[in-house]
Amino acid sequence: MHWTLARRAEKMNPSVIREILKVTERPGIISFAGGLPSAKTFPVDAFAAAAAKVLRDDGPAALQYSASEGYRPLCEAVAAWLPWDVNPDQVLITTGSQQGLDLVGKVLIDEDSRVLVETPTYLGALQAFAPMEPSVVGVDGDDDGVAIGDFAAKAPGARFFYVLPNFQNPTGRTMGEARRAALVERAAALDVPLVEDNPYGDLWFDAPPPAPLAARNPDGAIYLGSFSKVLAPGLRLGYVVAPRAIHPKLLQAKQAADLHTPGFNQRVVAEVIKDGFLDRHVPTIRALYKQQRNAMLGALEREMQGLGMQWNQPAGGMFLWARLPEGVSAVDLLPRAVERGVAFVPGAAFYAAGGDARTLRLSFVTASADEIDTGIAALAQALREHLATLHA
């Protein structure tokens, strides 16, 4: 049988990160590569109690087909949780926020549509948009987020600008208040919708980040949120908040994609989070991740002495962004690091088009503080050996 593939499928290649993650599953490897939340933070007992209650009180409804919009009490809980005036009718529950990206792509992207993303950006968004065959353009940025001038220069004709303002994946950077205000104002003036992805916003360490972009101009933004980082990713529960002009289209795309997000899971999470559970639970995640970020910063300071490595100090989230000394490619370093028992993701994977080969992403949430110490020491050792080879 000869299968004629769609053009987009011919172009699909195994994800770099996916291949790396396979390596990191080897026993004994300390992984700074994946974006896996610490399983220690999963409220297993609360889920067990909620699952039992949902099946006991509401089993047949929880196991039946249900509305594509989502379980109404969960839509209401999401609307109440968000820090601006959201009507539950604007909320669409998705099968993880990754699905929100798929739906946004289907509703807003034609072949060759101009789509703006940050430089670098979340690899999964590039993958979700790819089937719609957009022309993706990276907007420059700095430690404070998006460069407004570059955005304005690249904005004409763009279908939307995909932005991750809080503790960005992959860089860990956060967009400041003034920058947010400027971006929202320019986007409105230039008539470019914003697609704001905020999976990490609640994971701040010392102070909450500035208000979301969507809160500043709700009619000009689609907002994507997730329960993956504040509860657990294995239930695949995310949500989209969309203006009335867009919500019905996203809803139809959702229905065609998987009919609805599992009603059982939606009821379990609605049950877990009622009565303020997140207000008690999320601070424990913040404290753990802050401690692990501090462990990583400390280990880098200690182990990377004199090696010419640079890194940032994320104020929340899961990732730290680092840069190797001149002439060292992260892709070249990776095999030696894995040999030494430690893994990371080369930063080049996160650029829409050709990236800085010296960059790498380090996750500080999967490994414990002790493992972080061991892993960063191993990474330093790998770098020393690699530098010695280069200069030999």
Residues of this chain, 280-319, that bind its own copies according to CB under 8 A: none
Q: Tell me the C-alpha distance between 92 and 98, whole Å.
A: 13
Q: Is 232 in the site for its own copies (CB under 8 A)?
A: yes
Q: Is 14 in the site for its own copies (CB under 8 A)?
A: yes
Q: Is 185 in the site for its own copies (CB under 8 A)?
A: no
Asked if residue 382 lies in contact with residue 342, where contact means CB atoms within 8 angstroms, the answer is yes
Q: Which is nearer to its own copies, 131 or 298 (CB)?
A: 131
Q: Which is nearer to its own copies, 12 or 287 (CB)?
A: 12
Enter the DSSP assignment of 119: S
Q: Which is nearer to its own copies, 176 or 220 (CB)?
A: 220
- Name residues contacting its own copies, limited to 72-111 (CB under 8 A): 94-96, 98-99, 102, 106-111
74, 117, 128, 300: which one contacts its own copies (CB under 8 A)? 128
Q: Given phi > 0 = left and psi -120 to 50 = alpha, else beta, which region is 3?
A: beta
Beta bridge partners of 316: 204
Q: Is 234 in the site for its own copies (CB under 8 A)?
A: yes
Q: Which is nearer to its own copies, 15 or 312 (CB)?
A: 15
Helices (H), 109-201: 123-129, 148-154, 177-190
- Name residues contacting its own copies, limited to 261-280 (CB under 8 A): 261-265
Q: Is 389 in the site for its own copies (CB under 8 A)?
A: no
- Name residues contacting its own copies, limited to 41-60 (CB under 8 A): 42, 44, 47-48, 51-52, 55-56, 59-60
CB of 268 to its own copies, least distance (A): 9
Helix axis angle for 16-24 and 330-339, nearest 10°, is 20
Q: Which is nearer to its own copies, 152 or 307 (CB)?
A: 152
Segment interacting with its own copies, rule: CB under 8 A, options 137-145, 225-233, 291-299, 344-352: 225-233
Q: Is 353 in the site for its own copies (CB under 8 A)?
A: no
Which of 323, 326, 311 lies closest to 364 in space, CA to CA?
Answer: 311
Q: Is 131 in the site for its own copies (CB under 8 A)?
A: yes
CB of 117 to its own copies, least distance (A): 15
Helix axis angle for 330-339 and 369-391, nearest 10°, is 120
CB atoms under 10 Å from CB of 330, counted, come to 23
8, 274, 280, 302: which one contacts its own copies (CB under 8 A)? 8
Q: Tell me the C-alpha distance between 212 and 207, whole Å.
A: 14
Q: Is 235 in the site for its own copies (CB under 8 A)?
A: yes
Enter the DSSP assignment of 317: S
CB of 35 to its own copies, least distance (A): 8
Q: Tell me the C-alpha distance between 375 and 366, whole Å.
A: 12
Asked if residue 363 lies in contact with residue 34, where contact means CB atoms within 8 angstroms, the answer is yes
Q: Is 34 in the site for its own copies (CB under 8 A)?
A: yes
Burial class (CB in 10 A: 0-12, 13-18, 19+), 192: buried
